[in-house]
């Protein structure tokens, strides 16, 4: 091979390398697509904790809304946000209540189950009780038991703090009492999960329920009790020994992009999610990725 | 002394009137200010008392608004409902109250159930008792009233509370009209406040105010610690058992205010007077002085004099007028000089001979009475010498009139050179001349002879020819008998002497006296 040809080939190889490097840098610097998600507080806690990994692994930007969701602004917002999905403006929702089959069919939604979340039965820290039998829990919320001394506590009236969200959907608090009407009438009814915790913290006689992903503040005088001696853990949910739970899901509407589909799959079964699920005692509903 | 009706007089008059007006205003204001300030202070006290009443109404409305805030908070009323219906620990109520309403500016809060049980504010039992006594625990309306309790005078606002249409009780919030509140109002209004009960001061904003002092207003005035106050009552309710709130303005402070007002007025008037004087001075300087110069110039012109009047810069109307007037005077002066020059020339031409420059016969007749009178007054003699050139007609005929004129000029020069400065020389006509000299006939003879000899020795010469020129002289001395009009007699005598000289052969001098003797 002559020197002239060798030089030509070297120049061609150099040019090819420069072109490839430029394309790679351009692809690296291209803005990641923004996907907006909204819904209730508990799934928001989960997604928010693994967001950096999701954004990094799937080259997207997540915009999440759901912290301290209020009554009527939790699951409903998640469904509404999912229905806003459009090409170039991709959205999804997250909910803590399983949707009825009719609602799914009518709205054209696709439900992506994530995990079961134990519902903690919380009482005031001043309450000496550490455990309440399951039937007595239900009797308390129904109003059949109205004084703590009936369950082995002090002689104090029981104050129920309740957030009766998503009454038309199955699951969640309905695992305690099936309908709102069956709950005790003289109760404190609040609009946000934070107010449930605050109410129980304010009343020494208080009792309420909250998802296990709730982050309690040190100033709040609240503690979770075991139910019939069973702690609210993922393992006890799996073995169906712990009776109160809610189901966290992601909902989408219509076609979704590959990055969003991959992200949902990651949320359902990725190792980062597994780590967070373990932290909050969530029971994943999808097998882990190999 | 300034003449009336002049501009300067009017200017001084107007400024004087202005200053008088200012001084009169000062005197009037000074004397009426006390009444005005006191009256204004009385009105002010009433107005400020009304303002404080308005402020109290606003605060009462705000207080009611705060009670309604609690009433309308469903979270709070839900807690109340549970607390009342279940009889829970009141700690929960205290928690939510502090969290939701702890920031509100309220002095005391009491919440009672319909049964009179205290849910919040157990430490304010006195207020709870009042609410129960007034039957407010079951009242369905918002209320406001004043309460005089262990915390002092309080403004109280109440609002009934209910939960899901179920009446729970009443909320009462208070605002204490304490020293802090009174001091805030004192700074806002600028006066003092007194809280009085049974004719004694309970609370006040004055520096040395002690509780228990007597407070008995008379004619809206009260004296405390030797200081008199103008007072107005602030209405805070109809309950006669409540303390009275009084707003007061110190008369000493009013006096200080009055003195300050007077000083400001005095300073204003002095400044006005000074301003008037300065304006007047400037007007006199800028208007009166140039007008005075114009008036003086007009007087000079009116008296027939046209003085030098330099103009100046004409930035204003008077300067412009002065310059135009100066130009007019200058023009008049130039025209007057021209008239004088022409008049002088005409007079000269009317009294002198145009060829020789000697005086003519007319001037002789004009001047002679004066010369004769002077001579008589100084007892001096006056002598006439008539001179006639010999054979002058022959010169004209032989050499022509131009040569004749030059001969006359030659003769005139010799005549002038040989006369004294004090002698008067006249050309009487043709080749006849007259010399009028001071002195007697002997002196006249001497002058005549001197001329004759000089003429005889100095023939006319024009470079081509010599023409001998001689003349005959008739001399006559004036006599006191001739009188002031005796010129004709003297001329006749001198003429006779001349005739004799001509007849005797010409070129000689003949004295009239000699002729008479010889005759």
User: Of the spans A17-26, B69-78, B508-517, which averages the highest pLDDT?
Assistant: B69-78
Q: Which residue of A has its CA nearest to B85?
A: A186
Confidence at residue B517, expressed as pLDDT on a 0 to 100 scale: 44
A contact test, residue of B82, B85, B97 with most A CBs within 10 A: B82
Please name which of B140, B160, B154 lies closest in space to residue B68, comparing C-alpha atoms: B160
Residue B504 within a domain:
yes
Residue B511 within a domain:
yes
What's the angle, vertex CA A216, arms to CA A213 and CA A220, rounded to 5?
155
Confidence at residue B501, expressed as pLDDT on a 0 to 100 scale: 93
The reply to whether residue A159 touches residue B95, judged by beta carbons under 8 angstroms, is no
Shared domain for A41 and A84, answered yes or no, is yes
Cβ(A110)–Cβ(A253) under 8 Å? yes
Query: What does the pLDDT average to over B437-455?
Result: 92
pLDDT of B431 strictly over 80: yes
Cβ(B145)–Cβ(B162) under 8 Å? no
The reply to whether residue A186 touches residue B79, judged by beta carbons under 8 angstroms, is no
Residue A21 within a domain:
no
CATH value at residue B370: 3.30.70.270
Residue A4 within a domain:
no
Classify residue B114 by its DSSP letter: T
A205: contact with B, CB 8 A cutoff: yes
Report DSSP letters for A200-216, one per residue. HHH-TTEEEEEETT---
Other C-beta atoms closer than 10 Å to the C-beta of A166 total 23
Shared domain for A264 and A233, answered yes or no, is no
Confidence at residue B101, expressed as pLDDT on a 0 to 100 scale: 93
Cβ(A247)–Cβ(A285) under 8 Å? yes
pLDDT tens digits for range B125-148: 999 999 999 999 888 899 999 999
pLDDT tens digits for range A42-100: 888 889 988 999 888 888 888 888 776 665 568 888 999 999 998 888 999 999 888 88
CATH value at residue A67: 3.40.190.10
Residue A19 within a domain:
no
Residue A5 confidence class, pLDDT cut points 50, 70, 90: low
pLDDT tens digits for range A55-66: 888 888 888 887
| Helix A41-58, helix A258-269: angle, nearest 10 | 120
Q: Which two tokens stand for residue B316?
A: 């204003």
Q: Using an 8 Å CB-CB cutoff, list chain A residues near B86.
A: 146, 157-159, 186, 205
What's the angle, vertex CA A268, arms to CA A263 and CA A271, rounded to 5?
85
Taken in order B107, B113, B118, B124, is the CA torsion positive or negative? positive
Shared domain for A89 and A151, answered yes or no, is no
- Can you give the residue range of the structural domain that contains A193? 118-238
Other C-beta atoms closer than 10 Å to the C-beta of B186 total 19
Please name which of B472, B466, B471, B469 lies closest in space to residue B498, comparing C-alpha atoms: B472
ipTM: 0.78
Cβ(B442)–Cβ(B430) under 8 Å? no
Query: What does the pLDDT average to over B379-392?
Result: 92
Smallest CA–CA distance, residue B118 to chain A, in Å, is 17
Number of independent structural domains in chain B: 1
The reply to whether residue B75 touches residue A187, judged by beta carbons under 8 angstroms, is no
Confidence at residue A13, expressed as pLDDT on a 0 to 100 scale: 66
pLDDT of B519 strictly over 50: no
Q: If DSSP codes are grouped into helix, strand and coil, which group holds residue B441? A: helix
Please name which of A69, A59, A62, A32 lies closest in space to residue A47, comparing C-alpha atoms: A62
Query: What does the pLDDT average to over B479-499?
Result: 85
Query: What does the pLDDT average to over B406-435?
Result: 93
Cβ(B389)–Cβ(B415) under 8 Å? no
Residue A73 within a domain:
yes
Shared domain for A55 and A153, answered yes or no, is no
The reply to whether residue B92 touches residue A156, judged by beta carbons under 8 angstroms, is no
Q: Which H or E run contains B383?
A: strand B382-389
Residue B213 confidence class, pLDDT cut points 50, 70, 90: confident
Which residues 72-91 in chain A show a CB within 8 A of chain B?
Answer: none
| DSSP percent split of chain A into helix, strand, coil, nearest 5 | 40, 25, 35
Q: Which residue of B has its CA nearest to A155?
A: B88
Number of independent structural domains in chain A: 2
pTM, 2 dp: 0.59
Backbone angles phi, psi at B299, to 5 degrees: -65, -40
Shared domain for A251 and A112, answered yes or no, is yes
Residue A277 within a domain:
yes
- Can you give the residue range of the structural domain that contains B394? 352-518
User: What percentage of chain B carries pLDDT values higher than 90?
Assistant: 46
Which residues, in sequence order, are bridge partners of residue B503?
Answer: none
Residue B80 within a domain:
no
Query: What does the pLDDT average to over B469-485?
Result: 86
Residue A124 confidence class, pLDDT cut points 50, 70, 90: very high
The reply to whether residue B86 touches residue A186, judged by beta carbons under 8 angstroms, is yes
| DSSP percent split of chain B into helix, strand, coil, nearest 5 | 55, 20, 25
Q: Using an 8 Å CB-CB cutoff, list chain A residues near B95.
A: 201-202
Smallest CA–CA distance, residue B96 to chain A, in Å, is 7
Cβ(A91)–Cβ(A257) under 8 Å? no
pLDDT tens digits for range A196-254: 999 999 999 999 999 999 989 888 999 999 999 999 999 999 999 999 999 999 999 98
Distances (CA, A) of A98 to A84, A112, A242, A288, B83: 20, 10, 18, 21, 35
The reply to whether residue B89 touches residue A189, judged by beta carbons under 8 angstroms, is no
B166: contact with A, CB 8 A cutoff: no
Q: Using an 8 Å CB-CB cutoff, list chain A residues near B81.
A: 186
A157: contact with B, CB 8 A cutoff: yes
Cβ(B491)–Cβ(B386) under 8 Å? yes
A159: contact with B, CB 8 A cutoff: yes
Block residue for tokens 């054209």: A108
Residue A254 within a domain:
yes
Confidence at residue B131, expressed as pLDDT on a 0 to 100 scale: 94
Q: Which two tokens stand for residue B287?
A: 């208007």
Shared domain for A175 and A96, answered yes or no, is no
pLDDT tens digits for range B321-359: 888 888 888 888 888 889 999 999 998 888 899 999 999
The reply to whether residue B75 touches residue A190, judged by beta carbons under 8 angstroms, is yes
Shared domain for A131 and A206, answered yes or no, is yes
Shared domain for A153 and A103, answered yes or no, is no
Q: Which two tokens stand for residue B20?
A: 């008088």
Q: If DSSP codes are grouped into helix, strand and coil, which group holds residue B232? A: strand
Q: Which residue of A has its CA nearest to B164?
A: A186
Query: What does the pLDDT average to over A104-114?
Result: 90
Shared domain for A188 and A256, answered yes or no, is no
A186: contact with B, CB 8 A cutoff: yes
Smallest CA–CA distance, residue B156 to chain A, in Å, is 28
Shared domain for A127 and A208, answered yes or no, is yes
pLDDT tens digits for range B32-60: 777 777 788 788 888 999 999 999 999 99
Shared domain for A227 and A148, answered yes or no, is yes
Please give the Cα distance from A250 to A264 (Å, whole number).
8
Cβ(A252)–Cβ(A109) under 8 Å? yes
Residue A178 within a domain:
yes
């Amino acid at each position: 091979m002559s020197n002239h040809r060798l030089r030509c080939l070297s120049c061609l190889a150099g040019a090819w390398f420069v072109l490839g490097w430029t394309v790679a840098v351009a692809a690296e610097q291209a803005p990641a697509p923004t996907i907006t998600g909204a819904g209730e507080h508990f799934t928001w806690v989960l997604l928010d904790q693994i967001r950096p990994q999701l954004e990094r692994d799937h080259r997207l930007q997540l915009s999440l809304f759901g912290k301290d969701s209020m009554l009527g602004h939790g699951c409903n917002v998640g469904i509404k946000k999912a229905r806003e999905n459009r090409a170039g403006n991709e959205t999804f929702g997250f909910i803590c209540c399983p949707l009825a089959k009719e609602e799914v069919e009518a709205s054209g939604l696709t439900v992506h189950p994530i995990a079961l979340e134990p519902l903690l039965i919380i009482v005031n820290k001043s309450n000496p009780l550490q455990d309440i039998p399951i039937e007595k829990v239900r009797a308390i919320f129904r109003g059949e038991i109205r004084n703590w001394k009936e369950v082995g506590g002090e002689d104090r009236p029981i104050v129920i703090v309740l957030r009766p969200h998503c009454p038309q959907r199955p699951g969640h608090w309905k695992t305690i009492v099936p309908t709102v009407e069956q709950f005790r009438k003289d109760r404190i009814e609040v609009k946000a999960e934070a107010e449930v915790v605050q109410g129980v913290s304010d009343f020494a006689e208080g009792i309420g329920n909250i998802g296990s992903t709730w982050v309690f503040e040190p100033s709040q005088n609240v503690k979770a009790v075991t139910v019939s001696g069973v702690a609210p853990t993922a393992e006890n949910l799996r073995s169906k020994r712990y009776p109160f739970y809610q189901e966290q899901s992601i909902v989408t509407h219509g076609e979704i992009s590959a990055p969003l589909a991959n992200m949902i799959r990651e949320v359902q079964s990725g190792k980062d999610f597994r780590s967070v699920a373990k932290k909050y005692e969530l029971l994943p509903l999808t097998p882990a990725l190999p | 002394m300034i003449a009336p009706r002049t501009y300067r007089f009017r200017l001084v008059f107007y400024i004087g009137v202005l200053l008088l007006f200012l001084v009169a205003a000062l005197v009037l204001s000074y004397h009426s200010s006390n009444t005005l300030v006191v009256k204004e202070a009385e009105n002010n006290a009433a107005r400020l008392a009304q303002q404080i009443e308005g402020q109290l109404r606003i605060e009462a409305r705000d207080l009611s608004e705060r009670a309604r805030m609690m009433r309308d908070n469903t979270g709070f009323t839900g807690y109340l409902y549970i607390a009342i219906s279940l009889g829970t620990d009141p700690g929960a109520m205290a928690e939510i109250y502090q969290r939701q309403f702890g920031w509100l500016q309220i002095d005391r809060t009491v919440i009672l159930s319909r049964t009179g049980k205290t849910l919040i504010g157990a430490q304010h039992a006195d207020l709870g008792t009042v609410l129960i006594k007034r039957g407010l625990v079951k009242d369905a309306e918002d209320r406001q009233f004043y309460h005089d309790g262990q915390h002092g005078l309080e403004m109280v606002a109440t609002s009934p509370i209910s939960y899901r249409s179920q009446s729970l009780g009443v909320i009462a919030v208070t605002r204490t009209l304490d020293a802090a509140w009174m001091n805030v109002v004192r700074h806002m209004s600028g006066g003092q406040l007194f809280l009085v009960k049974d004719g004694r001061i309970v609370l006040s904003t004055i520096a040395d105010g002690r509780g228990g002092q007597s407070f008995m207003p008379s004619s809206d005035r009260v004296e405390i610690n030797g200081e008199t106050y103008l007072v107005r009552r602030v209405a805070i309710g109809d309950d006669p058992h409540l303390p009275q709130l009084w707003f007061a303005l110190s008369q000493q402070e009013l006096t200080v205010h009055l003195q300050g007002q007077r000083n400001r007025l005095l300073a204003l008037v002095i400044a006005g007077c000074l301003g008037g004087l300065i304006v007047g001075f400037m007007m006199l300087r800028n208007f009166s002085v140039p007008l005075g110069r114009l008036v003086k110039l007009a007087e000079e012109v009116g008296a027939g004099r046209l003085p030098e009047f330099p103009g100046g810069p004409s930035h204003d109307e008077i300067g412009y007028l002065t310059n135009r007037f100066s130009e007019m005077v200058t023009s008049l002066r130039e025209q007057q000089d021209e008239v004088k020059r022409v008049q002088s020339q005409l007079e000269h031409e009317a009294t002198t001979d145009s060829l020789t420059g000697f005086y003519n016969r007319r001037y002789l007749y004009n001047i002679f009475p004066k010369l004769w009178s002077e001579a008589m007054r100084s007892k001096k003699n006056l002598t006439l010498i008539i001179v006639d050139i010999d054979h002058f007609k022959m010169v004209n005929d032989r050499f022509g009139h131009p040569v004749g004129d030059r001969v006359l000029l030659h003769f005139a020069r010799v005549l002038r050179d040989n006369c004294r400065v004090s002698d008067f020389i006249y050309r009487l006509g043709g080749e006849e001349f007259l010399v009028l000299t001071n002195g007697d006939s002997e002196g006249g003879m001497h002058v005549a002879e001197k001329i004759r000899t000089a003429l005889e020795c100095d023939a006319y010469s024009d470079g081509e020819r010599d023409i001998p020129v001689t003349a005959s002289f008739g001399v006559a001395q004036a006599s006191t008998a001739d009188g002031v009009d005796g010129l004709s007699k003297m001329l006749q005598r001198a003429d006779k002497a001349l005739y004799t000289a001509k007849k005797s052969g010409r070129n000689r001098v003949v004295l009239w006296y000699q002729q008479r003797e010889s005759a």
